[in-house]
């Protein structure tokens, strides 16, 4: 584990990714305590105050401190994306490994249906689901998880299929091992790495999708300081107060970049090809 | 009586008063040209009796005519009706129609068309939103081809105003008899323009009606209505000259448009307001002290800033503001946290009170009001959780049923209309369930009162009652904001928000040539 | 006379994170005009590095420390990229190991042959087309004009290698580097390619550097043989002498490891007791789908029996169905037919009970994939012990049995070499104390010296436990050394099943004879 | 591309459409707040609601509604919009045509920009150009469409005045205007696609350049130019074709946001409007058409792949 971490941060993208994520983690954990102002405190005189000593990153249309909202908002943005990805990945992984292990026509039927569901664009599926479940951050998380599961299932299955064809699995079957042992001890440990890498990269999509849903008004709801919602709110004032738009947009982009970098870094660090 | 007759007189001579001075004083409006106007949302309904939102009202106004229409000062002028006369008790009204008017298909307008149209609006099966807004009509009958008689269920002085209602457009009787639903896809009216093409979410094109009853109007050859769902994008398009006129914009964009070259930003005070509805029949708002406490917690000046970007006027918990006739200037409530706390304590909430305020997501200002009120009222002990929901869900689950939610209303033509729409016990949308019989009595008395001074006094009383008892917190009225290119002439931003009069618009020097 | 190719005191390092690694030490060799020098070495001996150095295609981390490389009078190390482009192909040709990956899959054969001709012989497309047809017919390709229009995947591996050889000879280079040109091919196809090479060499008098891991093969094509070991040239000798009188100890070891059919490694007779009898075995992969036919069975009603303690060899080229038999017998593939083991009849994988699975063990070809990379050696070995009622305390004994240090129990598979992994796999199979072990090409990816050790180990295990083996291989020479009886398979059918000593007899199947002729027995 | 291959693809497409139709129908069945209420808005009275509900046929059991709907869809009739009273099919298809124009232009721009950049990055692996391309790629895939769209509009339309901010003009009606109105949305969509395809192209090119046949081509003495263009490029492009086929799924999703922001009356916005208005026939038709489009383009990509890659041709 430590060895992996060292290998990870030895690469520039791994180092940048880990550093950014550390910052984000600090914001998620201590944002509330560190924020200079209460994130929802309105200030009539401070409306559209540009960045300066009073509000380091400026203030929004209610005179709320953008830095504080950003720091507190990290908690309503990043963990949501993580949860959505985790739930979606777990569901997808179970479907994928199960389908690969079952094989044959069952596998065919599961995967064709899975592909069919994937034909509905993720955002559309999420939109429909949120409309059904009702607007809100929690429902957006569910919707993203559902939208992610088929893709994860497909990825996992292809990896699992490859693992299932490995001789050590065949050896286990020839030996007369049970299905549980083969799935959990022989196959699963060997599909974990690709799943973790893929999920890490998908977190960045989840961050963006979550922000997009909030932007479209069906995700997090005011007065939450979710970043996508902040962008949506600031958009109508973007000429008066562009900082209100640029700051949360940059936060979303940096978070997405961080997870992308981490995913790529992990992929490299876990790739046995680079080992001499 | 005096006021009514004076209005009637004015109405009767409206043609000469409205159109002649223009010809005499200014240069004659230039004929021809194509006007591109942007709509803030799709005009998804062109059925004149089913239209519900401003872009749809605009389209049906272009294609159809009412008997009467509303001027910017909220008085009426003739449209298809040349003149009208009530009986002594104002329970029967005789309307004389303008002769020689034809529909777009060439057939002549007769009193049969008017009778059929009004009956269709009143028919519940039509499901027209105008059904409850065109006045207490009991029966409508054709006396001769150009005379129509309205029989009312009670005295009603404002019938000519009510008939300006946006769904009370006149359509051919034969269409009503054969297939009224066909008006959802085709149009046949007496309006200044004829329908050329209709794509609800993209573009609607109308062209000049050459046989409009006023041979001079309209001045434009063609009007193209383009749907711009994004306000920022719309303002940008206005600044780059892609569109000549926009229907409405936000304070933020307005500030940009004011500074833009070649653009004339338009602004007019209006009676459009955002409010917080309090369910007066349930805890905790059945206690007047809680309502008063909330009213005292809200900073009205600040609210105008937060939700209207400063482009509006503070409200004093009555639906009337200076844009209305009969507005009574009561000293504006000042935020008073101590008093509010005290009232709340007296009502039995010494430790404050937890509430959930529901706001629909359209328009976004509803949520903004919620967020602002939440923060402003916190000091007084109101712990408000703002919950937003899609507009459709809101209409289904909250509206008229909820106990504590944000409302949003256009200006109505008369004081009577707004009070009877929202606040009397038998109001069409009795949201607050205030059910104050004293208040009802005042409004009913004002309705039939003919003496201007007495009527003013009655409406003043009504406003004072609402101000004191706070069935609803009305803290901000909006100015209507829009913009046009400088070369657009003759357009007036109507405070009603849903009257446009593009038949008076022409293109002046500098207008781009458009095919 | 100037040699066609001269390497003098050449020393090459690779820079790695752990410091420089020397891959070639002070190499000196010469190839005269028209001469063929065979370069032999096991994997990691540096033979490919030398080829890449000559082709000037070294990886970025290569550091040339000393020495010179000359092609005739041209100093290869001083060529500019532009000059190099003119030398490659034109003066210095190359034939690659794997013909299936050396041709661009998306260009026609004709295009890939003519582009080289146009580049190096300065001719027009039309002339090049004519010349290419000529060249292809010269390498004994039937209907060369049709081949020209085909894509690589539409012709066989042997045909591809002929195309590559035709291209290499087409530009009339001074010298051609052959980098294991037959390794990726089947035995018989490889033999034909060698014949072609011999003929073309005769005709053109081209000099060649022939690189291979197969000493026996090299002695048959080369005039002289150079032996590389750990980057050092240990011996250079005429081809005829290297087997007869290897001078260097390393060469001797290498020669010793080469399988020779006449040098039998087992001397006992097998018993008559039948351990496993399989009859009418047909192996099926995949079923008919809505829109596709089922693929044909991989084997056609095969029957064979394994006797107690016997080594039964099963040989055949790739695709002959020999591995399918192994899979059927271990329940890894669907089959029809009957297997009789221990007086029990088995018609389906489900009939294979724990006793059968314990008694019949399988060892796979690829050591990398047969050990779970996420399990330590101890866990890998403990599993059959737990499953078949053994004791995990036996793990050290199992490791010793396969001659691995007991400390290896704590290692991960990736910390082991190929040979060591294969020993762990063997230990895993023997943990069950089986009666029959199926070895599916288990030595194919290993160097001959490692192969010899593994074979020796297996024979020792057999001697100790009396286990029977079903030994599947494509190497006829190897199996003739160790098997009691040998079955020959071809395209899913079993064409011969003979005692090993009867292989030279008259009555063997023509295919078996062809296979024997194609298996290069060392010269000398 | 044998007949069986083609038939199998076709069958899969049909299966996809059926699964999607059931799924979409199921979702629309449980949408809260009914269409009648949403249609009538604040003016609804109970009688009006009842009348409208009866008219819209909202009472029947779900499976009956599905079968009836599916039957009509099969004959090309998607029903009448509850919101606009217009036939849904033609409305959605003309919206789709505008979306496809947007999508096709974006893919074109993407290919023109991303392929050369990816190749250059691969050739200059580890150097400045490669690092630059990688950074752009990271940025591109990490910006949600709504951010890119807003920032680009802020920069190109309102600060520099190079392009019209939004709106849609049909290039058939007015070519120049049409193109300039498409520019910003196409650019926005392309940013993400370019990042994706560029990354793909880079890694594919690297893989191909490491392949044996490229080494063989070099060692045959072919000049670098022909190694690159004749041998490497085509093989590196092959997987990119598949990727683009799969990206259409993303594209159609992204288009929802882009069309919403840039006021393009395409299928994405039609869907947004329909969802907001609970206009069930429009939601069903729009989602189904989108999924079908994805299935078709995916199949097309597969076929393009088969055409480009001789290995698949005779399967």
pLDDT below 50 — which residues of chain B?
Answer: 1-25
C61 vs C296, residue with greater confidence: C61
Which chains contact C through at least 3 pairs of Cβ atoms less than 8 Å apart? A, D
C352 touches chain A (CB under 8 A): yes
Cβ contacts of D159 on chain A, cutoff 8 Å: none
The 10s digit of each residue's pLDDT in D11-21 is 888 888 899 98
Classify each residue of B202-240 as buried b or exposed e, where b means 16 or more C-beta atoms within 10 Å of its C-beta.
Answer: bbbbbbbbeebbeeebbbbebbbbbbbbbbbbbbbbbbb
* Whole-number Å distance between alpha carbons of C207 and D241: 45
Residues 287-326 of B with CB under 8 A from A: 299, 302, 305-306, 309
Of D250, D248, D273, which Cα lies nearest the Cα of D263? D273
Which of D41, D56, D85 would you mutate first to test chain B, the one with the most B CBs within 10 A?
D85
Residue-level pLDDT at A276: 32
The 10s digit of each residue's pLDDT in A70-95 is 999 898 889 999 999 999 999 998 88
Cβ contacts of A253 on chain D, cutoff 8 Å: 139, 142-144, 147
Cβ contacts of A231 on chain D, cutoff 8 Å: 146-147, 150
Which of B390, B392, B397 would you mutate first to test chain A, the one with the most A CBs within 10 A?
B390
* Residues with Cβ within 8 Å of residue C60, at least 6 apart in sequence: none
Burial bucket for residue B325 (CB in 10 Å: 0-12, 13-18, 19+): middle
Per the listing, tokens 């014949």 go with C195
The mean per-residue pLDDT over the stretch C394-402 comes to 92
C83 touches chain D (CB under 8 A): no
Q: Do D139 and A253 touch (CB under 8 A)?
A: yes
3-state secondary structure of C142: coil
* Whole-number Å distance between alpha carbons of C120 and D66: 69
Cβ contacts of B237 on chain D, cutoff 8 Å: 164-167
**β-strand C5-16 against C19-31: which pairing, if any?**
antiparallel
To which H or E segment does residue B178 belong? helix B173-179
Q: Do C90 and D221 touch (CB under 8 A)?
A: yes
Q: Do B388 and A61 touch (CB under 8 A)?
A: no
Q: Do A236 and B250 touch (CB under 8 A)?
A: yes
Residue-level pLDDT at B9: 38
Where does residue B329 fall: left (phi above 0), alpha (psi -120 to 50 degrees), or beta otherwise? Answer: beta
B370 touches chain A (CB under 8 A): yes
C56 vs D238, residue with greater confidence: C56
Cβ contacts of A172 on chain C, cutoff 8 Å: 383
Lowest mean pLDDT, pick from A108-112, B155-159, C347-351, D43-47: D43-47
A120 touches chain C (CB under 8 A): no
The nearest CA of chain D is from the CA of A20 a distance in Å of 14
Cβ contacts of C362 on chain A, cutoff 8 Å: 170-171, 174
Burial bucket for residue C394 (CB in 10 Å: 0-12, 13-18, 19+): middle
The shortest CB-CB distance from D86 to any of B131, B200, B396 is to B200
Q: Where are the alpha helices (DSSP H) in C55-175?
A: 81-87, 99-102, 109-121, 125-138, 144-149, 157-170
CB atoms closer than 10 angstroms to residue B145: 14
* Whole-number Å distance between alpha carbons of B376 and B303: 9
D30 touches chain A (CB under 8 A): yes
Asked if B298 and B307 touch (Cβ cutoff 8 Å), the reply is no
Mind spelling out the 3-state secondary structure of chain A?
CHHHHHHHHHCHHHHHHHHHHHHHHHHHHHHHHHCCCCCCCCCHHHCCCCCCCCCCCCECCCCCEHHHHHHHHHHHHHHHHHHHHHHHHHHHHHHHHHHHHHCHHHHHHHHHHHHHHHCCCHHHHHHHHHHHHCCCHHHHHHHHHHHHHHHHHHHHHHHHHHHHCCHHHHHHHHHCCCHHHHHHHHHHHHHHHHHHHHHHHHHHHHHHHHHHHHHCCCCCCCCCCCHHHHHHHHHCCCCCCHHHHHHHHHHHHHHHHHHHHHHHHHHHHHCHHHCC
The nearest CA of chain D is from the CA of C169 a distance in Å of 11
Residue-level pLDDT at B7: 40
Cis peptide before A32 (omega within 30 of 0): no
Q: Do B232 and A238 touch (CB under 8 A)?
A: yes
Q: Do C102 and D216 touch (CB under 8 A)?
A: yes
A48 touches chain B (CB under 8 A): no
From residue B97, give the alpha-carbon distance in Å to each of B168, B187, B305, C493.
15, 21, 47, 103
Q: Do D212 and C94 touch (CB under 8 A)?
A: no
The 10s digit of each residue's pLDDT in B295-342 is 999 999 999 998 998 999 999 999 999 889 899 999 999 999 999 999
Residue-level pLDDT at B297: 94
Q: Where are the alpha helices (DSSP H) in B26-98?
A: 54-63
From residue D89, give the alpha-carbon distance in Å to each of A67, B389, C312, D267.
48, 30, 71, 11
To which H or E segment does residue C235 belong? strand C232-238
Q: How far is CA C498 from the centre of its chain?
A: 24
Q: Is the pLDDT of residue A272 over 60?
A: no
Q: Do C102 and D212 touch (CB under 8 A)?
A: yes
Lowest mean pLDDT, pick from B37-41, C286-290, D74-78, D274-278: C286-290
* Whole-number Å distance between alpha carbons of D285 and D283: 6
C453 touches chain A (CB under 8 A): no
Q: Is the pLDDT of residue D208 over 70?
A: yes
Residue-level pLDDT at B16: 37
The 10s digit of each residue's pLDDT in D140-194 is 888 888 888 888 877 887 677 777 766 677 777 777 777 888 888 898 888 888 8
Which chains contact B through at least 3 pairs of Cβ atoms less than 8 Å apart? A, D
The mean of the pLDDT values for chain C is: 89
Q: Do B232 and A235 touch (CB under 8 A)?
A: yes
Instruction: Pick the residue from chain D with its C-alpha nearest to B203.
Output: D265
Residue-level pLDDT at A76: 84
Q: Do C374 and A190 touch (CB under 8 A)?
A: yes
Q: Do A119 and D256 touch (CB under 8 A)?
A: no
B234 touches chain D (CB under 8 A): yes
The mean of the pLDDT values for chain D is: 82
User: Virtual CA dihedral for C437, C440, C443, C446, nearest 10 degrees?
Assistant: -130
Beta bridge pairs of residue B204: B198, B225
Q: Report residue B160: phi and psi, to 5°.
A: -60, -35
* C with B: touching (≥3 Cβ pairs within 8 Å): no
Q: Do A175 and C414 touch (CB under 8 A)?
A: no
pTM above 0.90, yes or no: no
Asked if B303 and B314 touch (Cβ cutoff 8 Å), the reply is yes
A45 vs C126, residue with greater confidence: C126
Burial bucket for residue D303 (CB in 10 Å: 0-12, 13-18, 19+): middle
The nearest CA of chain C is from the CA of A159 a distance in Å of 14
The shortest CB-CB distance from B390 to any of A62, A135, A237 is to A135
Tell me the two tokens of residue D123: 């050739």
Tell me the two tokens of residue C284: 């099926």
Q: What is the largest CA-CA distance in chain D?
A: 86
Using alpha carbons only, give the angle B202, B205, B207 rounded to the nearest 5 degrees.
175
From residue D80, give the alpha-carbon distance in Å to each of C410, D56, D92, D275.
71, 9, 11, 15
**What is the strand order of the sheet B147-152 is part of?**
B81-86, B92-97, B147-152, B137-144
Per the listing, tokens 């596709």 go with C292
Residue-level pLDDT at D38: 64
Tell me the two tokens of residue D132: 């630059």
Instruction: Pick the residue from chain A with its C-alpha nearest to B393.
Output: A134
CB atoms closer than 10 angstroms to residue B21: 10
Burial bucket for residue D159 (CB in 10 Å: 0-12, 13-18, 19+): exposed
* Whole-number Å distance between alpha carbons of C400 and C378: 13
Model confidence at D58, pLDDT cuts 50, 70, 90, reads low
- Rg of the Cα atoms in chain B: 23
Q: Do D220 and C55 touch (CB under 8 A)?
A: no
Model confidence at C171, pLDDT cuts 50, 70, 90, reads confident
* Whole-number Å distance between alpha carbons of B8 and B94: 13
The shortest CB-CB distance from B236 to any of D32, D52, D158 is to D158
Lowest mean pLDDT, pick from A271-275, B366-370, C149-153, C372-376: A271-275
Of D66, D128, D96, D135, which Cα lies nearest the Cα of D284? D66
* Whole-number Å distance between alpha carbons of B449 and B440: 14
Residue-level pLDDT at D44: 61
Residue-level pLDDT at B178: 92
The nearest CA of chain A is from the CA of D150 a distance in Å of 8
Tell me the two tokens of residue D73: 């869809």
């Amino acid at each position: 584990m430590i060895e992996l971490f060292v290998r990870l941060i030895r690469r520039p993208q791994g180092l940048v990714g880990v550093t950014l994520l550390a910052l984000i983690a600090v914001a998620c954990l201590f944002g509330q305590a560190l924020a200079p102002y209460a994130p929802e405190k309105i200030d009539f005189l401070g409306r559209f105050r540009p960045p300066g000593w009073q509000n380091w990153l400026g203030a929004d249309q209610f005179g709320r401190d953008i830095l504080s909202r950003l720091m507190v908002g990290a908690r309503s943005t990043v963990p949501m994306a993580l949860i959505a990805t985790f739930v979606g990945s777990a569901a997808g992984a179970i479907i994928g490994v199960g389908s690969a292990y079952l094989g044959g026509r069952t596998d065919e039927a599961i995967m064709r249906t899975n592909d069919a569901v994937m034909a509905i664009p993720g955002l559309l599926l999420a939109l429909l689901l949120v409309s059904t479940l009702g607007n809100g951050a929690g429902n957006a998380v569910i919707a993203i998880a559902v939208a992610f599961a088929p893709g994860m299932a497909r990825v996992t299955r292809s990896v699992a299929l490859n693992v299932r064809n490995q001789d050590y699995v065949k050896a286990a079957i020839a030996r007369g091992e049970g299905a549980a042992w083969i799935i959990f001890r022989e196959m699963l440990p060997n599909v974990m790495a690709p799943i973790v890498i893929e999920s890490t990269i998908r977190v960045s999509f989840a961050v963006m999708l979550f922000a997009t849903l909030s932007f479209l008004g069906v995700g997090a709801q005011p007065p939450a300081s979710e970043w996508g919602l902040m962008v949506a709110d600031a958009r109508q004032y973007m000429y008066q107060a562009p900082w209100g738009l640029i700051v949360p947009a940059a936060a979303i982009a940096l978070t997405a970049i961080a997870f992308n970098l981490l995913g790529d870094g992990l992929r490299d660090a876990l790739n046995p090809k680079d080992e001499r | 009586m005096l006021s009514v007759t004076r209005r009637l007189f004015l109405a009767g001579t409206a043609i000469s008063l409205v159109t002649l001075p223009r010809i005499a004083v200014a240069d004659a409006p230039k004929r021809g040209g194509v006007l591109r106007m942007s709509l803030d949302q799709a005009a998804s309904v062109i059925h004149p009796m089913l239209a519900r939102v401003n872009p749809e009202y605009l389209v049906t106004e272009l294609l159809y005519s009412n008997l009467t229409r509303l001027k910017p000062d909220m008085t009426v002028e003739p449209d298809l009706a040349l003149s009208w006369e009530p009986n002594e008790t104002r329970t029967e009204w005789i309307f004389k129609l303008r002769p020689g008017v034809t529909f777009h298909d060439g057939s002549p307008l007769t009193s049969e068309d008017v009778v059929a149209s009004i009956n269709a609006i009143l028919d519940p099966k039509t499901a027209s939103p105008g059904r409850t807004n065109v006045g207490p009509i009991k029966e409508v009958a054709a006396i001769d081809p150009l005379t129509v008689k309205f029989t009312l269920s009670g005295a009603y002085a404002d019938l000519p105003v009510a008939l300006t209602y946006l769904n009370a457009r006149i359509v051919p009787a034969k269409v009503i008899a054969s297939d009224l639903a066909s008006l959802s896809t085709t149009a046949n009216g007496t309006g200044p323009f004829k329908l050329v093409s209709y794509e609800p979410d993209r573009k609607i094109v109308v062209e000049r009606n050459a046989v409009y009853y006023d041979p001079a109007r309209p001045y434009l050859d063609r009007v193209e209505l383009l749907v711009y769902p994004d306000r920022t994008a719309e303002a940008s398009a206005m600044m780059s000259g892609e569109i000549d006129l926009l229907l409405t914009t936000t304070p933020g964009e307005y500030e940009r448009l004011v500074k833009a070259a070649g653009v004339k930003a338009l602004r007019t005070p209006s009676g459009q307001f955002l409010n917080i509805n309090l369910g007066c029949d349930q805890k905790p708002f059945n206690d007047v002290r809680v309502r008063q406490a909330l009213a005292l917690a809200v900073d009205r000046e600040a609210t105008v800033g937060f939700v209207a970007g400063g482009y509006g006027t503070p409200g004093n918990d009555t639906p009337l503001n200076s844009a209305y006739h009969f507005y009574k200037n009561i000293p504006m409530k000042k935020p008073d946290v101590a008093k509010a706390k005290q009232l709340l304590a007296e009502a039995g909430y010494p430790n404050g009170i937890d509430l959930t305020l529901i706001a629909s997501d359209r328009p976004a200002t509803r949520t903004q009001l919620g967020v602002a009120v939440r923060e402003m009222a916190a000091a007084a002990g109101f712990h408000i959780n703002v919950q937003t929901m899609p507009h459709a869900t809101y209409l289904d689950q909250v509206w008229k049923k909820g106990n504590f939610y944000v409302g949003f209303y256009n200006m109505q033509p008369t004081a009577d209309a707004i009070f009877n729409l929202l606040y009397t016990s038998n109001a069409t949308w009795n949201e607050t369930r205030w059910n104050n019989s004293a208040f009802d009595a005042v409004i009913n008395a004002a309705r039939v009162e003919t003496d201007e001074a007495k009527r003013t006094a009655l409406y003043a009383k009504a406003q004072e009652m609402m101000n004191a008892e706070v069935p609803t917190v009305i803290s901000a009225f909006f100015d209507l904001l829009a913009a046009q290119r400088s070369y657009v002439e003759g357009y007036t931003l109507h405070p009603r928000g849903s009257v446009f009069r593009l038949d008076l618009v022409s293109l002046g020097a500098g207008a781009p040539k458009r095919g | 006379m100037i040699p066609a190719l001269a390497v003098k005191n050449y020393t090459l390092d690779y820079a790695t994170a752990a410091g420089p690694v020397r891959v070639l030490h002070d190499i000196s060799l010469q190839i005269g005009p028209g001469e063929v020098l065979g370069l032999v070495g096991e994997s990691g001996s540096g033979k490919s590095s030398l080829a890449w150095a000559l082709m000037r295609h070294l990886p970025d981390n290569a550091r040339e420390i000393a020495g010179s490389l000359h092609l005739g009078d041209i100093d290869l190390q001083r060529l500019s990229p532009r000059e190099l482009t003119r030398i490659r192909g034109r003066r210095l040709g190359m034939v690659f190991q794997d013909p299936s990956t050396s041709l661009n899959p998306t260009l026609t054969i004709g295009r890939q042959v003519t582009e080289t001709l146009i580049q190096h012989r300065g001719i027009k497309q039309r002339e090049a087309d004519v010349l290419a047809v000529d060249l292809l017919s010269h390498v004994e390709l039937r209907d060369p004009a049709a081949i020209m229009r085909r894509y690589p995947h539409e012709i066989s591996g042997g045909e591809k290698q002929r195309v590559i050889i035709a291209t290499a000879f087409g530009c009339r280079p001074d010298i051609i580097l052959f980098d294991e040109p037959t390794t990726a091919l089947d035995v018989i196809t490889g033999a034909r390619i060698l014949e072609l090479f011999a003929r073309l060499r005769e005709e053109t008098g081209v000099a060649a550097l022939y690189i291979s891991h197969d000493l026996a093969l090299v002695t048959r094509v080369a005039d002289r043989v150079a032996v590389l070991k750990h980057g050092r040239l240990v011996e250079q000798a005429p081809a005829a002498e290297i087997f007869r009188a290897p001078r260097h100890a390393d060469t001797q070891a290498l020669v010793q490891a080469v399988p020779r059919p006449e040098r039998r490694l087992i001397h006992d007779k097998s018993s008559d007791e039948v351990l496993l009898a399989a009859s009418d075995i047909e192996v099926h992969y995949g079923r008919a789908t809505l829109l596709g036919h089922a693929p044909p069975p991989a084997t056609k009603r095969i029957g064979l029996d394994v006797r107690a303690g016997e080594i039964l060899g099963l040989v055949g080229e790739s695709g002959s169905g020999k591995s399918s038999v192994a899979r059927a017998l271990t329940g890894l593939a669907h089959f029809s037919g009957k297997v009789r083991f221990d007086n029990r009849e088995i018609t389906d994988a489900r009939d294979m009970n724990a006793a059968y699975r314990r008694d019949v063990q399988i060892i796979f070809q690829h050591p990398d994939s047969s050990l779970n990379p996420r399990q330590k050696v101890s866990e890998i070995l403990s599993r059959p012990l737990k499953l078949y009622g053994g004791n995990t305390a036996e793990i050290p004994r199992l490791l010793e049995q396969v001659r691995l240090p007991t400390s290896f129990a704590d290692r991960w598979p990736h910390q082991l070499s190929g040979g060591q992994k294969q020993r762990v796999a063997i230990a895993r199979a023997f943990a069950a104390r089986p009666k029959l072990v199926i070895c599916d090409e288990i030595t194919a990816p290993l160097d001959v010296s490692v192969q010899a050790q593994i074979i020796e180990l297996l024979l020792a295990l057999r001697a100790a436990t009396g286990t029977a083996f079903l030994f599947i291989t494509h190497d006829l020479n190897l199996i003739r050394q160790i098997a009691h009886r040998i079955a020959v398979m071809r395209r899913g059918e079993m064409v011969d099943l003979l005692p090993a000593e009867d292989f030279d007899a008259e009555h063997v199947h023509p295919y078996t004879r062809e296979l024997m002729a194609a298996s290069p027995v060392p010269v000398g | 591309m044998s007949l069986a291959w083609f038939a199998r693809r076709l069958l899969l497409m049909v299966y996809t459409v059926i699964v999607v139709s059931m799924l979409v129908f199921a979702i629309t069945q449980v949408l809260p707040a009914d269409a009648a209420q949403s249609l009538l808005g604040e003016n609804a009275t109970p009688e009006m609601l009842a009348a409208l509900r009866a008219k819209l046929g909202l009472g029947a059991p779900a499976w009956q509604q599905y079968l009836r709907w599916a039957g009509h869809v099969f004959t090309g009739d998607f029903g009448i919009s509850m919101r606009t009273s217009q036939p849904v099919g033609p409305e959605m298809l003309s919206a789709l045509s505008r979306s496809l124009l947007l999508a096709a232009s974006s893919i074109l721009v993407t290919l023109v920009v991303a392929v050369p950049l990816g190749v250059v990055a691969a050739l200059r692996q580890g150097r400045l150009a490669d690092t630059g391309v990688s950074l752009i790629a990271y940025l591109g895939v990490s910006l949600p469409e709504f951010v890119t769209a807003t920032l680009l509009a802020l920069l190109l339309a309102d600060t520099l005045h190079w392009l019209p901010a939004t709106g849609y003009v049909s290039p058939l009606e007015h070519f120049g205007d049409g193109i300039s109105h498409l520019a910003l949305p196409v650019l926005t969509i392309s940013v993400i696609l370019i990042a994706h395809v560029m990354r793909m192209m880079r890694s594919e090119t690297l893989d191909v350049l490491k392949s044996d046949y490229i080494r063989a081509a070099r060692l045959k003495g072919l000049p670098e130019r022909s190694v690159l263009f004749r041998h490497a490029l085509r093989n590196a492009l092959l997987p990119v074709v598949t990727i683009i086929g799969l990206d259409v799924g993303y594209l159609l999703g992204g288009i929802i946001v882009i069309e919403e922001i840039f006021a393009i009356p395409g299928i994405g916005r039609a869907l947004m409007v329909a969802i907001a208005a609970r206009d069930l026939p429009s939601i069903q038709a729009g989602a189904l058409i989108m999924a079908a489009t994805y299935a078709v383009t995916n199949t097309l990509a597969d076929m393009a792949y088969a055409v480009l890659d001789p290995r698949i041709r005779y399967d």
